[in-house]
A and B are shown apart, each in its own frame.
Chain A
Amino acid sequence: MARVEVQLPSVFTPIVAGRLTFSLEAESLRGAWQALRRERPEVGLHLFDESGALRRHVLCFHNDRNSRWLDGEDAPLRDGDTLLFMQAVSGG
C-alpha cells in the first residue's frame, strides 16, 4: 500500500472543515478513489457519481498527469504521490 496525498480545491473548505489536504493508503488510482468514497463519503459525493466514476466536471491529476487521458484507473501509486482534484469553474 502506498500513502498518497489528496488535494482538494478550496471550494471544499466548508465540507472538510478547512482540511483540504489529507493522506490515504491505496495501491492504485482506482483503489484511492474507492478509499476516498469509503473513508470520506462527504467528499466522495461531490467527486464521484453513484457508480464510483469520476463526475464529468471533475478532473483528477495523478502527479500532475490527468488520470482520464493517460494513466487509466489501474495506475499504481507510490508513497508520496499526489492526487489533485479539480472542478470546472463557471464564475466570473
Chain B
Amino acid sequence: MSTDAPVDAVLARYSRQMLFTPLGEQGQRRLRHARVLLVGCGALGTVLANTLVRAGVGFLRIVDRDFIELDNLQRQVLFDEHDIAANLPKAEAAARKLRRANSAVEVEAVVADAGPHNLAAYAADVDLLLDGTDNFETRFLLNDLAVRDGLPWVYGACIAAEGLVMAVLPGRTPCLRCIWDAPPPAGETPTCDTAGVLGTAVNITASLQALEALKILSGRTEALHGRMISFDAWLGRFRSLDMQPARETGDCRCCVHREFPYLAGDRASRAVLLCGRNAVQVTPPADAAPIDLKRVAARLGRDARAVQNEFLLRFTADSFQVTLFADGRAIVKGTADAGVARSVVAKYVGA
C-alpha cells in the first residue's frame, strides 16, 4: 500500500469494526498508533495476537520462550503442523502468520524467557501489556512492572472450562495484588496440564482480554467496567464481580506501598543446569511455602507414573522425568535448557 493512499483506503479494511459506534473512526485511528507488548504466545497469546493484529493495532511485540508441540494445536490458533515440522519457536511462527493476516501491523518476535532481568526493556516503548502467560510468577511480575511504570495491563487466565479476566489501570482500578497478595504455593492450584483446558475457554478468556485492551488503546477507558469477569463456559455461569472494594479498603503492598519484589527478582525461581546430567534444578523463591507432595501427586494423571515417598515425588511428563522435593525444588531430567525446565515445572507443579 502506498504511503500517499487516502486515509480512508488504509482504514477500509476495518470498516465493520468502525461501524461499531463506540469505537468509530476516531478509535480506529488511535489503534493504528498503539503499541502493545504480549508476554506469552500459547493458548491465550495466540488468540490475543490474532485479535489485536486483525483489529489494527500499530505495533505488537511478542515474547515467548517455548517451541510448538502437537498437543498445543487443539487451542493455540496461530500454529499448524508445518510449524512443528519446521521446529519454529512460538513467537516466530505467530509473527509469520500475523504478518500475512495484516501487513499494515508491525509485528516483532522475541524468543526469550520474560523475567525480571528483561521485561522492563521489552515494555519500554509500549502503551499496554497483555498477559498470555501460563504461570503466576510472570503474572505477578507483569503486575509489578505495570504498577511501577503506570502502564495498563490485562490479566487473563483459564483452566478447564473456566476463565478470569480483569483490566488493570494503575491508580484507577485494583491491581492483581490488591486481590491476591501472593501466588498460591506451588501445587495448590490445578494447571492446564493437570486439569486440562478447553479451546472454548481459552477463546472466551482471550477475547474478553482483547476487548478490554481495545477499549484502552482506542482511548475509550470510560467503557472499562472495573470488574473481574469470571465464567465457567461448561456450566453456563458468567459473572462480573466488583473488585473495586479491594482497592478502596485494601492496603496493597504493590499499588499503595509500591513494593515490587517480583520486578526486583526477589521472588523469582532459579534454574541451574546440573552439569553432565542433562538435567536442570529449578529452585522456588526463598520465601515460598513448602509443597504438599500428596496434593501435587493427586492432580497428576495415571500416565505420569508418579512415585512418592516422604521426601520426594517423581513423575514423568512430556518425556521429562521430574523429581519434586518437599522444599519445592524440582530436578527436571531430559533437558539442559533452564527455560524448558522452568516451563515443565510451571506446567505440572504450578508456579
Contact = CB atoms under 8 A, between A and B. Distances in A.
B157 interface: yes
Interface residues of A, number: 24
Contact of A92 (B44, B190, B245, B246): B44
Contacts of A69: 245-246, 249-250
Contacts of A20: 235
B343 interface: no
Most buried by B among A20, A90, A92: A92
Contacts of A64: 239, 241-242
B113 interface: no
Given A64-B242, A70-B245, A90 B183 contact: yes
A9 B232 contact: yes
B40 interface: yes
Interface string B29-48: 00000000000101111000
Interface in A1-30: 7, 9-11, 13, 20
B141 to A, nearest CB: 13
Contact of A57 (B44, B180, B234, B246): B180
Judged by DSSP, the binding face of A is mixed
B197 interface: yes
B173 interface: no
Given A9-B232, A11-B159, A92 B192 contact: yes
A92 B191 CA distance: 9
Contacts of A92: 40, 42-45, 131-134, 156-158, 192, 202, 205
A92 B198 CA distance: 11
Given A10-B160, A90-B346, A91-B192, 13 more contacts: A9-B232, A11-B189, A64-B241, A69-B246, A88-B157, A88-B184, A88-B189, A90-B135, A90-B183, A90-B189, A91-B134, A92-B132, A92-B133
